[in-house]
């Protein structure tokens, strides 16, 4: 038996999707306010999340459900390694430490891979379709906000093995609709997808403090420069 899982996921996660987009860090990001230290911490967490998900899905590539949505061309682990090298340098493995929210996210992926592997569909859907849908926009925002040269620090957003992202998303959704799952399992996958959005929100919320501090520092420095310039102009006038 198959159900329209792609539609169920789209409709069943609308609220969670909107909530994730309204986290302060994401709203700032979409407005072009991106601070490099905060962003690289996000890259660290994403690296460990994708590594866990891709390792588990590779192990389950012959699973009756996971095999249907196992597309290695989606993998982000090596792209994220390139970005970590850019942001941290050659010793990035020593520098890149997983956060508390990241640890919980990775632990959940490992847990369901052992107990309910079909729920990995929810995590694959939540991350990969989001990356394909908004990746190029986020790439341009990152480049502009952090003054990045094209190809530096944004490998995460590049899907070199997928020539037509729109066509691929259609194929992926069709594969989800054809998965051999019953309604009860489909509903569990939707619930897990909502939880996945919640885990992503926690990653973003951890970064808000760093972003607010960075913005405060930038504003302070700007005001200080203005005051210094004003004092200098006044002294010159006298």
Tokens of 38: 């905060």
Mean pLDDT, residues 91-118: 96
pLDDT reported for residue 133: 87
- In sequence order, which residues have a C-beta less than 8 Å from that of residue 238 and are 6 or more positions away? none
Give domain status of residue 129, yes or no.
Answer: yes
| Number of other CB atoms surrounding residue 183 within 10 Å | 11
Give the tens place of pLDDT for each residue, 5-33.
Answer: 999 999 999 999 999 988 988 888 888 88
Domain that holds residue 115: 5-208
Task: Extract the tokens encoding 100.
Answer: 């508390």
For residue 61, is it within any domain?
Answer: yes
Residues with Cβ within 8 Å of residue 103, at least 6 apart in sequence? none
pLDDT exceeds cutoff 50 at 220: no
Running DSSP on this structure, what letter comes out for residue 179?
S
Distance CA(192)–CA(161), nearest Å, equals 28
Here the CATH number for the domain that contains residue 180 is 1.20.910.10
Domain membership of residue 218 (yes or no) is no
Quick one: how far is CA 103 from the chain centroid?
A: 15
Give pLDDT, residue 136: 81
Q: How many angstroms separate the CA atoms of 212 and 234, rounded?
A: 33
Residue 220 lies in a domain: no
Does the pLDDT value for residue 212 go beyond 50? Answer: yes
Top-confidence residue, 223 or 202? 202
The two tokens of residue 203 are 């990653």
Instruction: Return the higher-pLDDT residue of 10 and 228.
Output: 10
**pLDDT attached to residue 75:** 97
Residue 146: inside a domain, yes or no?
yes
In a domain, residue 226? The reply is no
Q: Does residue 114 fall inside a structural domain?
A: yes
Alpha carbon distance 202, 42 (integer Å): 11
Q: How many domains, in total, are found in the chain?
A: 1
Looking up tokens 């913005």, which residue turns up? 215
pLDDT at 104 (0 to 100)? 97
Confidence of residue 217 (pLDDT cuts 50, 70, 90): very low
Residue 137 inside a domain? The answer is yes
pLDDT in tens, 163-191: 999 999 999 999 999 999 999 999 999 99
Torsion, Cα of 196, 42, 35, 138 (10° steps): -60
Question: How big is the chain, counted in residues?
Answer: 238
Q: What pLDDT shows up at residue 216? A: 47
Q: What is the pLDDT of the chain when averaged over all its residues?
A: 89
């Amino acid at each position: 038996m198959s159900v329209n899982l792609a539609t169920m996921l789209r409709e069943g996660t609308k609220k969670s999707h909107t909530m994730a987009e309204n986290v302060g860090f994401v709203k700032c990001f979409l407005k072009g306010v991106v601070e490099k230290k905060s962003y690289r911490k996000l890259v660290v967490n994403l690296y460990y999340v994708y590594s866990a998900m891709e390792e588990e899905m590779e192990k389950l590539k012959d699973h009756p459900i996971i095999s249907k949505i196992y597309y290695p061309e989606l993998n982000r682990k090596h792209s994220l390694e390139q970005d970590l090298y850019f942001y941290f340098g050659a010793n990035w493995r020593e520098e890149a430490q997983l956060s508390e929210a990241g640890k919980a996210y990775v632990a959940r992926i490992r847990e369901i891979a052992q107990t309910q592997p079909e729920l990995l569909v929810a995590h694959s859907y939540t991350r990969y379709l989001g990356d394909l849908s908004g990746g190029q926009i986020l790439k341009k925002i990152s480049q502009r906000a952090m003054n990045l040269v094209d190809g530096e620090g944004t490998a995460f957003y590049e899907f070199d093995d997928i020539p037509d992202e729109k066509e691929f998303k259609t194929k992926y959704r069709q594969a989800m609709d054809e998965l051999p799952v019953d309604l009860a399992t489909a509903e569990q996958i939707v619930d897990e997808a909502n939880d996945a959005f919640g885990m992503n929100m926690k990653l973003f919320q951890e970064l808000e403090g760093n972003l607010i501090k960075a913005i405060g520092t930038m504003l302070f420095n700007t005001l200080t420069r203005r005051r210094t310039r004003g004092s200098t102009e006044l002294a010159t006038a006298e």
